[in-house]
Chains A and B, each alone.
Chain A
Amino acid sequence: MNKKQKNMLARILAALVCLIIVKIAEKSIPFWWLQLALYMIPYLIVGWDVLRKAVKGIKNHQVFDECFLMTVATLGAIAVGIYDGIHTGSGDYLEAVAVMLLYQVGELFQSIAVGRSRRNISELMDIRPDYANLEEDGEVSRVDPDEVEVDSVIVVNPGEKIPLDGVVLSGESMLNTAALTGESVPRAARPGDTVLSGCINENGVLRIRTTAEFDESTASKILDLVENAAARKSRSENFISQFARWYTPLVCYAALALAVLPPVFLAITGREVQLFTWIYRACTFLVISCPCAVVISIPLTFFAGLGGASNQGILIKGSNYLETLSQVRTVAFDKTGTVTKGNFAVTEVHPAEGFTKEDLLEMAAYAESHSSHPISRSLRQAFGQETELAAVTDVQEISGHGVTAVYKGRNVAAGNEKLMDRLGIVIPEVPETTGTKVFVAAEGKYAGCVVIADEIKPEAKAAMDGLKRAGVRQAVMLTGDASAVAESVAKTVGIDTVRAELLPAQKVEAVEELIRQAAGGAEEDPKRPKVAFVGDGINDAPVLSRADVGIAMGALGSDAAIEAADVVLMDDDPRKIGKAIRISRKCLRIVWQNIIFALGVKGICLVLGAIGAAGMWLAIFADVGVMVLCVLNAVRALFLKNV
């Protein structure tokens, strides 16, 4: 509890003690006005700030809020008490004081609950390093990570958090990446490896050369992302704040009508009018209608959901995306790096007549030497020698086709069938295989084909089953790769539809088509089924941003992916996609439970209050009780281990 909360608790206790004393002494007080004055002491102790806020709201022309509701309701109840007091010598003020007291208890509870979940969530995301051990001239000193410049050398001892991104200079250790990825298996770090801030060094001492400043380091970026996520409000949240804006004035007018209309009606029809009964009922009505349970529990649910998900290695960039995720019915996948591991290796080499295997690999490796695509890397690996970048000139990358370049005075081309078509080169025979084929030509003559295969991720099949269980109706693979390869991968893992040989721009079109299909012609409908695209974030940024939800996988350390995607999976386990959808479903379920429960109970109590079957006691218990239950229900969104 913070100071304000302690203060509030003290006021509540003081008012409670005071109220009990006054209640006991009540019978022996002869005058109604003295009774009133004595009851006013606990009332003002516990409720003065509510009264003040209500007055302030009126002054600022923002009349209708819960303070106003409470003030009017309790003052109304007191007025009824005064009326009784004048006529019978003793009025009932207990209710009004108790209502104010319980209202404040509810507020205090809410404030503590929110503060606690705020702290829980920041503990879940406890990746902010407190210090760095900076090594300068052979001496190690402990400094603020903010002060460490790029290219400094830092020392990380066992048990410490890595404060900044960097490259290991010396030392070997296992790193615990759980805070970043939700993955509990430690990773090995050896000299030359890149390490990310936020990981915990488990056993060895590491000397690290930093490659980023603190603000640009992974830990800071992730924290920033998570903290900003709550600022992107979901439709449900906006709906609730809109709702509160018209709901509160509405119930105030309804209460006014309840106080005035029935007595007028009774008077006209010539029956006996008990004006104060109706005022009392109107006050009860106001107490019940207080909207705080819904207003507080919905943002709390989203916040807890975002925090809980990030603890599982799933970063969701806003409540709005959490909401959209729950409506996803179609998931489109990029193949490489998502369904497959993306660690390509050359499996077959088919030189054409007049070329040797070595020739072929050399040309392919050099032609692709400027590219960082996994295919190019595997070609260079198979070639086995360092490629000199300067040996290649006039490199032209033709997106979705391949590259042409000049190497050793020869025009070399390496790419897919489309590239060969484009260059007018006839491929004599295509080897029957399911790998990715890179065709090579030299001086306009076909030189051969290199087959590169990729490994399917072992979790891919389970991931597809998980998606189906999460309610996804259609899984689609969009890939630039050849159809034969794509089909065989899709069949193995259980993807329904394949769109192969797509250029990057065509992937965007394919996603747009899926959106149109899912919408069934009603694209503007916010409730339509949504389409998610999952990619590795390296070259599919446009597709990620075009889909309703862009999900980047294995994004740990890739800034571009974190930038472009709406949901970032920190490790490359595709099962997390289904999990993210299930998490979003759980959150939305809680949100709707709370909305229906709170409004349902209030609706029933409003009716009971209006017909006089429920008094103010029931009203305040309904209000505070519903709020407590809704907040507790909202906090469930934090616990997502077994979702």
Chain B
Amino acid sequence: MKKTYKIEVDCANCAEKMQVAAKNTPGVKDAVVSFMTLKMKVEFEEGADPAEVMPKVREACRKVEDDCEVYL
């Protein structure tokens, strides 16, 4: 399953870091962050519940870039 989320982030490099953080979150199969459109596209693993995974993704992103936001 794929879902797109609106995000808030200041620089291209930070967006890249968020992408890596999101990708490494359990339950996420793949993630693409577009700094230009401020969107995060997340592909979830089979059976993973986005409502459970996404808060963890946000947490992981906050850890690498604290003034970022993922709108769930």
Interface stretch (choices A30-38, A74-82, A293-301): A293-301
CA gap between A227 and B39 in the complex, in Å:
8
Select B36's contact among A56, A60, A230, A241, beta carbons within 8 Å: A230
The chain B residue sitting closest to A240, CB to CB, is B12
Q: Do B64 and A231 touch (CB < 8 A)?
A: no
Chain A residues with CB below 8 A from B39, complex form: 227-228, 230-231
Q: Do B66 and A118 touch (CB < 8 A)?
A: no
Q: Do A299 and B36 touch (CB < 8 A)?
A: yes
CA gap between A228 and B40 in the complex, in Å:
10
Report A237-279 residues with CB < 8 Å from chain B CB.
241, 244
Given contacts A56-B66, A60-B64, A62-B64, contact A230 B10 (CB under 8 A): no
Name the prevailing secondary structure of the B interface residues. Answer: mixed
Given contacts A62-B17, A228-B4, A231-B41, contact A114 B36 (CB under 8 A): yes
1/0 per residue, CB under 8 A from A, across B2-23: the answer is 0010000011110011000000
The reply to whether the CB of A527 lies closer than 8 angstroms to some CB of chain B is no
Q: How far is the CB of B62 from chain A (nearest CB, A)?
A: 11
CA gap between A228 and B13 in the complex, in Å:
20
- Total contacting residues, chain A, CB less than 8 A: 25
Chain A residues with CB below 8 A from B11, complex form: 107, 110-111, 292, 296
The chain B residue sitting closest to A122, CB to CB, is B37
Chain A residues with CB below 8 A from B32, complex form: 231, 233
1/0 per residue, CB under 8 A from A, across B46-72: the answer is 000000000000000001101000000
The chain B residue sitting closest to A245, CB to CB, is B16
The chain A residue sitting closest to B4, CB to CB, is A228
Given contacts A60-B64, A62-B17, A228-B41, contact A295 B12 (CB under 8 A): yes
CA gap between A60 and B21 in the complex, in Å:
11
The chain A residue sitting closest to B34, CB to CB, is A230
Chain B residues with CB below 8 A from A302, complex form: 36
CA gap between A118 and B17 in the complex, in Å:
21
The chain B residue sitting closest to A248, CB to CB, is B13
Q: Do A111 and B64 touch (CB < 8 A)?
A: no
Select A296's contact among B12, B38, B64, beta carbons within 8 Å: B12
Q: Do A299 and B13 touch (CB < 8 A)?
A: no
Q: Do A66 and B37 touch (CB < 8 A)?
A: no
CA gap between A282 and B11 in the complex, in Å:
26
Q: List 14 A-B contacts (CB under 8 A).
A: A4-B10, A60-B64, A66-B13, A111-B10, A114-B36, A227-B37, A228-B41, A230-B37, A231-B32, A233-B32, A241-B16, A296-B11, A299-B35, A300-B36
What would 4 more interface pairs be, CB under 8 Å, given A62-B64, A230-B36, A299-B36?
A4-B10, A65-B13, A292-B12, A299-B12
The 5 A-B residue pairs with the shortest CB-CB distance in the complex, in nearest-first order: A303-B36, A230-B34, A231-B32, A230-B36, A230-B37
Residues of A in contact with B (beta carbons under 8 Å apart)? 4, 56, 60, 62, 65-66, 107, 110-111, 114, 118, 227-228, 230-231, 233, 241, 244, 292, 295-296, 299-300, 302-303
